[in-house]
C-alpha cells in the first residue's frame, strides 16, 4: 500500500469515527462582551510593537475582536476557494485514489465555513470582504496547476492551524471562541496530513517531468505565496474598525517591523520546514 | 499626468524597476506588473490614495489594467 493510500485509509476512518453534527455541537451565546480578549494576545498583529504599548487595554480588546472576525472571514474566503478547486478534481482522472477522501473533505470544509461565517455574522455583524482576486497566470500544465492548488491549500490550513491550536487552549478566551478553534484544529489535523502527502506526491511527479528552471519558478511562486498569505492578516479595515488612526500607515509600519517579521517566520516555520524537506522551498 | 497617477506609477515602478517606464496604456496585468499575489497591496495603496474602500471582482479587474484605466475608473470617479 502506498504512503498516500495508508494516510487516506487512516484519515477517512477518523473522519467517520469522529463525525459530529456542527449544527448541534455549538451552543452560541446571543452575544459576547466587547471588553474581553477575542484572540490570543500573542497572535495579534500588533504584538510586541510600539503601537501595542500605545493602546489602552480597552483599545487592544477592541482590536482583538476585529482581528478575530477578520481571521474567521479569511477562513470563510479561503475555504470557498479550496472547495472550488477540490470539487473541480473529485472523480476526475488522476484523483481516483483521493476522491473518497475528497467527499469527507468537502463535507467538513463546508461545515467549517458555516461555523466561521456564523461567528462573524453573530458577533461582528459582518464578514470582511475578500479583496484578493485571481489573475490568471496564463497556460499552465495540469500537473503543476494541481501541485500549486494543493500547496496553497496546505499553506492556508497550516497558518490557520497555528492560530487554532493556540486559541483552542487559551483559557483567557470565551468558551465558544476556544471551542470553535479547538474543533477546527481537530478536523484540520487530518486535512493537513492529507495535504502533506498529496503535495509530496504531486511535487515528485512535477520534478520528474519538468526542467530545473520550471521547478525554481514554482519555489519562487510558493515563497511569494507564503509571504502574501501571512501579510493578508494585516488589515487596514480591522485597524479602522478598532479606532486605530491612519490604518494604512499602521499596516505598512507593522509589515516593516522586525519584531513582526520574526513573529511571522514563527507562524510559517512548520510549513517552510516541510517544504524545505521536499526541496520545494528556497 | 495628475499627481495621483504619478504616485501610482511611482509605486509600481518601485516594485518593478526593470520595466523602466510605464506608458498610460501599458497592460499591467498581461505584463505581470501586478498579479494575484501583489494585488492586495496594490488595492490598499489605491485605497489610501483615494480615501475610500475598493472592491475588485473578476468583472471589474479591467479597471486596474492600465494607468489610463486606473485614472478613469478609480482615481477620478
Q: Cβ of A140 under 8 Å from any chain B Cβ? A: no
CATH assignment at residue B15: 1.10.1200
- The parent domain of residue A75 ranges over 3-27+57-278
* ipTM rounded to 2 decimals: 0.92
Between chain A and chain B, how many beta carbons pairs sit less than 8 Å apart?
47
List, for residues A152-161, the tens digit of each pLDDT value: 999 999 999 9
Number of helices (H) and strands (E) in chain B: give both, helices first: 3, 0
Give chain A's domain count: 1
The predicted pLDDT at position A134 comes to 85
Residue A187 has pLDDT above 90, yes or no: yes
Substitution target from B43, B46, B48 for chain A, most A beta carbons within 10 A = B48
Residue A47 lies in a domain: no
Block residue for cell numbers 486596474: B64
SS3 content of chain A, % helix, strand, coil (to 5): 75, 0, 25
CATH assignment at residue A231: 1.10.620.20
Residue A37 lies in a domain: no
Q: Is B53 in contact with A237 (Cβ distance < 8 A)?
A: yes
Q: Cβ of A232 under 8 Å from any chain B Cβ? A: yes
What is the mean pLDDT of the segment spanning A14-28? 95
* Predicted structure pTM score: 0.95
Cβ neighbours of B39 in A, within 8 Å: 131-133, 135
Give chain B's domain count: 1
- The parent domain of residue B67 ranges over 3-75
The overall average pLDDT reported for chain A is 96
In DSSP notation, A179-211 reads: HHHHHHHHHHHHHHHHHHHHHHHHHHHHHHHS-
Rounded-to-integer distance, Cα A248 and Cα A141, Å: 38
Amino acid at each position: 500500500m502506498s504512503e498516500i493510500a495508508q494516510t487516506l485509509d487512516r484519515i477517512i476512518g477518523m473522519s467517520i469515527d469522529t463525525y459530529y453534527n456542527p449544527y448541534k455541537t455549538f451552543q452560541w451565546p446571543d452575544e459576547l462582551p466587547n471588553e474581553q480578549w477575542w484572540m490570543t494576545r500573542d497572535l495579534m498583529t500588533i504584538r510586541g510593537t510600539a503601537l501595542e504599548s500605545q493602546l489602552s487595554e480597552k483599545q487592544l480588546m477592541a482590536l482583538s475582536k476585529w482581528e478575530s472576525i477578520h481571521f474567521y472571514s479569511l477562513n470563510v474566503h479561503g475555504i470557498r476557494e479550496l472547495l472550488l478547486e477540490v470539487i473541480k478534481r473529485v472523480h476526475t482522472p488522476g484523483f481516483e485514489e483521493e476522491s473518497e477522501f475528497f467527499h469527507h473533505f468537502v463535507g467538513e470544509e463546508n461545515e467549517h465555513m458555516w461555523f466561521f461565517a456564523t461567528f462573524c455574522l453573530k458577533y461582528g455583524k459582518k464578514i470582511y470582504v475578500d479583496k484578493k482576486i485571481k489573475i490568471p497566470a496564463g497556460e499552465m500544465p495540469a500537473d503543476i496547476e494541481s501541485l500549486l492548488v494543493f500547496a496553497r491549500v496546505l499553506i492556508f490550513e497550516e497558518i490557520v492551524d497555528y492560530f487554532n491550536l493556540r486559541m483552542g487552549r487559551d483559557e483567557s478566551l470565551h468558551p465558544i471562541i476556544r471551542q470553535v478553534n479547538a474543533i477546527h484544529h481537530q478536523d484540520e489535523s487530518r486535512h493537513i496530513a492529507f495535504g502533506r502527502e498529496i503535495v509530496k506526491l504531486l511535487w515528485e511527479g512535477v520534478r520528474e517531468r519538468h526542467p530545473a528552471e520550471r521547478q525554481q519558478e514554482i519555489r519562487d511562486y510558493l515563497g511569494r505565496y507564503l509571504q502574501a498569505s501571512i501579510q493578508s492578516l494585516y488589515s487596514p479595515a480591522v485597524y479602522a474598525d478598532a479606532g486605530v488612526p491612519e490604518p494604512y500607515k499602521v499596516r505598512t509600519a507593522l509589515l516593516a517591523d522586525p519584531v513582526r517579521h520574526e513573529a511571522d517566520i514563527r507562524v510559517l516555520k512548520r510549513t517552510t520546514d516541510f517544504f524545505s524537506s521536499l526541496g520545494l522551498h528556497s | 499626468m495628475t499627481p495621483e497617477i504619478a504616485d501610482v506609477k511611482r509605486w509600481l515602478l518601485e516594485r518593478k524597476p526593470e520595466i523602466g517606464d510605464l506608458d498610460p496604456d501599458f497592460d499591467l496585468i498581461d505584463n505581470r506588473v501586478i498579479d494575484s499575489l501583489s494585488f492586495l497591496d496594490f488595492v490598499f495603496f489605491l485605497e489610501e490614495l483615494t480615501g475610500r474602500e475598493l472592491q475588485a471582482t473578476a468583472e471589474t479587474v479591467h479597471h486596474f489594467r492600465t494607468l489610463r484605466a486606473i485614472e478613469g475608473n478609480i482615481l477620478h470617479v
